[in-house]
Amino acid sequence: MSHPRAPRLALRGISKRYPGVLANDGIDLDVRPGEIHAVLGENGAGKSTLMKVIYGIVKPDAGTIRWEGAPVTIANPAQARKLGIGMVFQHFSLFDTLTVAENIRLAVDTIAARALPARIRDVSERYGLALDPDRHIHTMSVGERQRVEIVRCLLQEPRLLIMDEPTSVLTPQAVLRLFDTLRALAAEGRSILYISHKLDEIRALCHRATVLRAGRVTGECDPRVETSATLARMMIGSELPHPRHRDAAAGAPALVVDALDVRAGDPFGTTLRGISFSVRAGEIVGIAGVSGNGQKELLAALSGERTLGRKDAIVLCGTPAGRLGAAARRALGLAFVPEERLGRGAVPEMSLADNALLTTRGPALVARGFIRSKGVRAYATKTIADFRVKATGPDAAARSLSGGNLQKFIVGREIGQQPRVLIAAQPTWGVDVGASAQIRQALIDLRDRGVAVLVISEELDELMEICDRLAVIAEGRLSEAKSIHATSAEEIGMLMAGSHAARGEPSADAARA
């Protein structure tokens, strides 16, 4: 028997473990009819896993789900849809060369093809999501594509709508329109689960918020009465991490970036605008930011995988390097640990020894163009030993290693080249706790040896722990890099969460109106 005010969706004790990490740990969650409920947390806090459990993509190890009072098992997305749960993914599953109507037709077979355009127009207009059914997806902006995803969901009459990071790729105006839509849906009695870490938006839009951290619920509140600061504290933990390093006695700038402007390579990308910063020898500079704010483009421009028109935009150890390719920049003393391990940082089918040779060239490894396999094996073996990589030996295929071990190997390979500048992107993403600690210590040791280190990461904890200076990248722009002592976790958290108030610009609070 369901109580009239009973939650539409009730999760109790949901747990899910993956190899090496406990993604969800005993999570309780209630969503009522007509409620916009935020799920708040940093990347890696367990939000996506929880949503996958609700949508039937993943089976929980423990816990129960009650839907409208009755216990249910959600075995797959089709069942979730039948129950009345719809999900709008962060990374859309649309077909670029087809039209809006065709995309919707593929997923919705309950409406006849001839009636579909009218129904699309009807639903889209009702909720302020104007769509032309005959437009091709690839001509549409990201905001418009999201509307297609939403309308596709709505045409199946969901009673619970899950929105995963919906505003991470929207303009401020599109955000306002989206909020109007969501409020209209909630007014009809539908429930909305809103996953995000944008504090201002959650405060403007949501009725309740559940805060996740490291797989657990660390707080539940009404975001309308909280401040961004209190929310940030719940999100990143009450103990602020103690940076355990001495003050940096940094030397000359080894990496200087000056007014870097880079156009986005693809429609989902971010254009970089006027990025300027420098990293001195013997210091670690961190760039924090939610993914999708230009990190990918910045890294490609820094590593040389994408060359620039202006050679002075990037200066490496005194040499203008903007026009140089990756190999030439390495010769100048640059080393780079990319965010993708298999397929970019390492060749999956090749052995660790061969992968050591991927970026390392030195007289011990390559002499007059010929490979010295003894030197290569020795280098690989040393890397494996120094970084305690769990592998059967230098002949193990890269793809046979666990994520953490492969990451240790890649980090070790890059550090072993004795670079003058090291760039590390998401160095501990998907890596177990032990390996993470090792990698962070390795970066600190490197800094102590006088190397300039740049770390680009979404994990604030780790950046607070190892960086000397910290900047935030948001929407293709970089904030000023402040010394770790001159800033606080709250301030960084707010900058990361997209709030412009800290920089004195009009904030998203306007969305409340």
Partner 1 sequence: MDTLTQLVLLSLAAGTPLVFAALGELVVEKSGVLNLGVEGMMLVGAVASFIVAARTQSPWLGVGAGALAAAMLAFVFAVIALTLRANQVATGLALSLFGVGLSAFVGRDFLSVVIEGITPIHIDRLTDIPVVGRLLFGHNPLVYASLVLFACVQWFLYGTRAGLVLRAVGEAPQSAHAIGYHVIAIRYAAVLFGGACAGLGGAFLAVAYTPSWVEGMTAGRGWIALAIVVFATWKPWRVLVGAYLFGSVTLAQFQAQAAGVAVASQLLAMLPYVATIVVLAIISRDATTIRLNAPASLGKAYHPE
Partner 2 sequence: MRAFFEARPQPSRLAVWMAPVLATGATLVIGFIVFEAFDKNPLAAFYAFFIQPVATRYGVAELLLKATPLMLIATGLAIGYRANVWNIGAEGQLTLGAMAGGGLALLAGDDSWPAFVLLPAMFACGALAGMAWAAIPAWLRTRFNANEILTSLMLVYIATLLLSWLVHGPWRDPEGYNFPQSKLFSDNALLPNLLAETRLNVGLALALAIVALAWLFVRRHIVGFEMRVAGLAPAAANYAGISARRNVWLGMLAGGACAGLAGVGEAAGPIGQLLPSMSPGYGFAAIIVAFVGRLHPLGIVLASLLMSLLYLGGESAQMNLALPSAVTGLFQGTLLFFLLAADVFVNYRVRIARSAPRPAT
Q: Give the binding site for partner 1 (CB under 8 A).
A: 77-78, 93-98, 102, 105-107, 113, 138
Rounded to 5°, angle at Cα 319 from 314 and 321: 40
Nearer to partner 1, 59 or 138 (CB): 138
Q: Which of residues 41-70 bind partner 2 (CB under 8 A)?
A: 52, 57-59
Residue 97: name its binding partner from partner 2, partner 1, none (Cβ under 5 to 8 Å by kind). Answer: partner 1
Using CB under 8 A, which of 4, 369, 504, 506 touches partner 2?
369
User: Distance (Å, rounded) from C-alpha 394 to C-alpha 463?
Assistant: 31
Task: Report, in Å, the least distance between residue 346 CB and partner 2.
Answer: 7
Nearer to partner 2, 53 or 169 (CB): 53
Contact stretch for partner 2 (CB under 8 A) within 37-45, 233-241, 392-400, 505-513: 392-400
Q: Applying CB under 8 A, does 344 fall inside the site for partner 2?
A: yes
Residue 107: name its binding partner from partner 1, partner 2, none (Cβ under 5 to 8 Å by kind). Answer: partner 1
Please enumerate in sequence order all residues whose Cβ is within 8 A of that of 366, keeping only pairs 6 or more positions apart, or say none.
357, 372
Task: Report, in Å, the least distance between residue 30 CB and partner 1.
Answer: 29
Q: Tell me phi and psi for residue 424, to 5 degrees.
A: -125, 125
Nearer to partner 2, 245 or 399 (CB): 399
Q: Applying CB under 8 A, does 338 fall inside the site for partner 2?
A: yes
Q: Bin 489: left if φ > 0, else alpha if -120 < ψ < 50, else beta.
A: alpha
Residue 196: name its binding partner from partner 2, partner 1, none (Cβ under 5 to 8 Å by kind). Answer: none
User: Distance (Å, rounded) from C-alpha 225 to C-alpha 211?
Assistant: 15
Q: Give the Cβ contact number of residue 46 at 10 Å.
A: 25
Query: 3-state DSSP helix/strand/coil percent for the chain, to nearest 5?
Result: 35, 25, 40
Q: Which helix (H) or strand (E) holds 451?
A: none
199, 203, 208, 212: CA torsion to nearest 10: 10
Alpha helices (H) in 197-245, listed in sequence order: 199-205, 228-236
Using CB under 8 A, which of 66, 177, 207, 361 touches partner 2?
361
Nearer to partner 2, 349 or 448 (CB): 349
Q: Which of residues 80-109 bind partner 2 (CB under 8 A)?
A: none
Q: Which amino acid is at 29?
A: L
Using CB under 8 A, which of 2, 18, 91, 113 touches partner 2?
18
Q: Which helix (H) or strand (E) holds 131?
A: none
Q: Applying CB under 8 A, does 326 fall inside the site for partner 2?
A: yes
Q: What is the CA radius of gyration of the chain?
A: 24
Q: Applying CB under 8 A, does 187 fall inside the site for partner 2?
A: no
Instruction: Give the interface with partner 2 as residue ranges (CB under 8 A).
Output: 18, 52, 57-59, 76, 303-305, 325-330, 336, 338, 340, 343-350, 354, 357-359, 361, 366, 369-371, 373, 396-397, 399-400
